[in-house]
């Protein structure tokens, strides 16, 4: 099943740093990078304020780039209960933002993403970053790790979407068909800037400035 033109937003959830990315499926296994960045919220702020900033920043990305689907890393036990709870709060905000825009959400474990990208479910950060850079044809590796992880999630979904569409009996063809004819909307640039930049727009992606 061909899903050329599908636009995927990949999110590496976190409260202090949340990696965001947008890619677009091309022909076959080709994937076109659209944008990447990291939303940051100050740890000294109240939880409610941090979640509000994250919600606004993610909502702006969704409105600006109009993804067809959202791919988020599934939460797993990391040993630090406080970290897990903060990440769970962030995931709730992210899923709600997608639901408010009628965007389907898919969740993948780290091992699922690693397997899809590198063929090895135990690949390390260095291997994954190298594969993401190669797959997207970037001039430099995306930084920080949160940005690379967000891109990996988006790539993973692009490659798994055809099988998911067959098994679940639906596609988002109507939502992304216009992109097949018109190509990628807006500029597609090499994703090699700092974490505080949106590489396709040059606008800040930090929550402190209400990206």
Q: Which residues pair with 72 in a beta bridge?
A: 11, 107
Catalytic residue among 12, 68, 149, 197: 12
List all residues 6 or more positions away from 183 whose beta carbon is below 8 Å from its beta carbon. Answer: none
Q: Which helix (H) or strand (E) holds 10?
A: strand 7-12
73 part of the active site: yes
- DSSP 8-state code for residue 207: G
Catalytic residue among 60, 77, 100, 146: 146
192 part of the active site: no
* Residue of 180, 211, 171 lying closest to 195 (CA atoms): 211
Catalytic residue among 46, 63, 73, 124: 73
Tokens of 86: 């903060």
Determine if residue 146 is labeled as part of a ligand binding site: yes
Determine if residue 77 is labeled as part of a ligand binding site: no
CA distances from 14 to 1, 73, 84, 93, 168 (A): 33, 10, 9, 11, 29
Q: Give the phi and the psi of residue 71 in degrees, each rounded to 5.
A: -115, 125
The 3-state DSSP class for residue 59 equals: helix
Determine if residue 60 is labeled as part of a ligand binding site: no
181 part of the active site: no
Catalytic residues: 12, 73, 146
Q: Binding-site residues for Mg(2+), please? A: 12, 73, 146
């Amino acid at each position: 099943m061909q899903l050329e033109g599908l636009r995927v937003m990949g999110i590496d959830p976190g409260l202090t740093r949340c990696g965001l990315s947008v890619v677009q499926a091309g022909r076959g296994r080709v994937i076109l990078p659209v944008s990447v960045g990291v939303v940051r919220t100050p740890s000294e702020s109240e939880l409610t304020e941090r979640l509000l900033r994250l919600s606004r920043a993610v909502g702006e990305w969704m409105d600006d780039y109009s993804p067809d689907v959202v791919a988020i890393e599934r939460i797993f036990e990391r040993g630090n209960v406080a970290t897990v709870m903060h990440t769970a709060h962030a995931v709730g905000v992210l899923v709600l933002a997608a639901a408010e825009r009628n965007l389907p959400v898919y969740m993948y474990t780290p091992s699922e993403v690693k397997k899809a990208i590198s063929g090895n479910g135990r690949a390390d950060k260095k291997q994954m970053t190298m594969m993401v850079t190669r797959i997207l044809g970037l001039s430099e590796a995306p930084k920080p790790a949160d940005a690379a992880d967000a891109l990996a999630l988006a790539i993973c979904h692009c490659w798994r979407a055809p099988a998911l569409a067959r098994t679940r009996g639906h596609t988002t063809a109507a939502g992304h068909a216009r992109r097949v004819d018109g190509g990628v909307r807006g500029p597609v640039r090499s994703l090699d800037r700092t974490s505080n930049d949106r590489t396709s727009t040059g606008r800040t992606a930090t929550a402190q400035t209400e990206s």
